[in-house]
Amino acid sequence: MTENKLAQRNYYGKALADLARNNPSVVVLDADLADSTKTSEFKKIAPERFIEVGIAEQNMIGTASGLAASGKTVFASTFAVFASGRCWEQIRLAVAYPKLNVKIVATHCGISVGEDGASHQALEDIALMRALPNMTVISPADAYEAYAATMAISDFDGPVYMRMGRSEFPTVTDEGSEFVIGRASVLREGDDVTLVGTGQMVALCMEAASILLEEGIDAEVVNMSTIKPLDTGTLGASMEKTGCLVTAEEHSIIGGLGSAVAEFASGEMPMPLEMVGTKDTFGESGTPDQLLEKYGLTSKDIAEAAKRSLERKRKLRA
């Protein structure tokens, strides 16, 4: 696999364009951010099925629910901080509770949004969406997976929240790979420690595995692209093999992937777990790389966490 840097939202746009051509039941809503979320690609092909709602996210969700109740497959997009936060209770009542076929696809997740600062950096959206009954939560690892996941959720009947990044980052999957909702994949096999990543942190987990290998540590990398329902089969098998793990997410460690893994581990398979994510804090303005570094979200941070996790395992076994 050659390294290739691509933005997920561009591949979301490509997928929507294909859906515009091939799936007449798809309707797309956006709240004045179509050029940024790339729903504009759908609008170019099927303008009659593109509904601009203006800067009114709560109404977007209610309108989406009404369309879904009338048989439409509805995609509603805006930035992650608005998509999950501004209209959380509308999603709860109008979408999640009645299990309506609405896909809330949010771009600009995480701290790598960059210069716009904390107001625009969603670090709590996984937690907010994961807490809702009936909600499926997806966070693709790269642009190719963003495309495949978009196609997969268009065929799935029910509420979905999918988060994607703003900027370009390395791909870790192959273009054209199948995406199965609720199925994690092992991208690198190893015996010493499991690195569970989601979103662009999967690429950083792969980098961390290379760093660790130089120190003689053989890490397994799991791409947890569906956070809910959690693929406890793949996760549990890896945990059983390695006996310690690290979670990595561009999200708060409160309520996100780390919490989801901890909920499983504490009940089924207690073992050393280190979480890489933001530590109960808001972000700030800066370049994506500066912010990832400042907030402890680099491959080096993942490698360090892996060593801590391994050390705890050794102590337990001593």
Contacts of 24 (CB under 8 A, 6+ apart): 49
Residue 129 near residue 137 (C-beta atoms within 8 A): yes
* Strand-pair category, 219-223 with 185-188: antiparallel
Q: Considering beta carbons, is residue 90 or 234 the nearer one to other proteins?
A: 90
End-to-end CA distance of the chain: 39
* Strand-pair category, 219-223 with 102-107: unpaired
Q: Considering beta carbons, is residue 98 or 270 the nearer one to other proteins?
A: 98
CA distances from 294 to 116, 281, 289, 305 (A): 16, 12, 9, 16
Selected catalytic residue, list 3, 41, 52, 57: 57
Could you say whether residue 127 binds other proteins (CB under 8 A)? no
Could you say whether residue 67 binds other proteins (CB under 8 A)? yes
What string of DSSP letters covers 50-106? EEE--S-HHHHHHHHHHHHHTT-EEEEEEEHHIIIIITHHHIIIIIITTT--EEEEE
- According to DSSP, residue 161 is labeled E
Question: Among 53, 187, 246, 253, which residue sits at the site for other proteins (rule: CB under 8 A)?
Answer: 53
Question: Among 77, 84, 90, 309, which residue sits at the site for other proteins (rule: CB under 8 A)?
Answer: 90
CB of 97 to other proteins, least distance (A): 5
Q: For residues 175 and 146, give the distance between their C-alpha atoms in angstroms, rounded to a whole number.
A: 10
Instruction: Give the Cβ contact number of residue 281 at 10 Å.
Output: 11
Could you say whether residue 93 binds other proteins (CB under 8 A)? yes
Could you say whether residue 27 binds other proteins (CB under 8 A)? yes
Q: For residues 244 and 86, give the distance between their C-alpha atoms in angstroms, rounded to a whole number.
A: 37
Could you say whether residue 47 binds other proteins (CB under 8 A)? no
Could you say whether residue 64 binds other proteins (CB under 8 A)? yes
CB of 134 to other proteins, least distance (A): 11
CB of 53 to other proteins, least distance (A): 6
Q: For residues 88 and 97, give the distance between their C-alpha atoms in angstroms, rounded to a whole number.
A: 12
Letters for 138-177 (x = contact with other proteins by CB under 8 A, - = none) are: ----------------------------------------
Choose the binding region for other proteins from 33-41, 94-102, 256-264, 301-309 (rule: CB under 8 A): 94-102
Choose the binding region for other proteins from 13-21, 63-71, 110-118, 153-161 (rule: CB under 8 A): 63-71
Catalytic: 304?
no
Instruction: Give the Cβ contact number of residue 284 at 10 Å.
Output: 15
Question: Among 17, 19, 94, 204, which residue sits at the site for other proteins (rule: CB under 8 A)?
Answer: 94
Question: How many residues lie near other proteins (CB under 8 A)?
Answer: 28
Q: Which residues are annotated as catalytic? A: 57
Contacts with other proteins by CB under 8 A lie at 27, 48-49, 51, 53-54, 56, 58-59, 61-72, 89-90, 93-94, 97-99
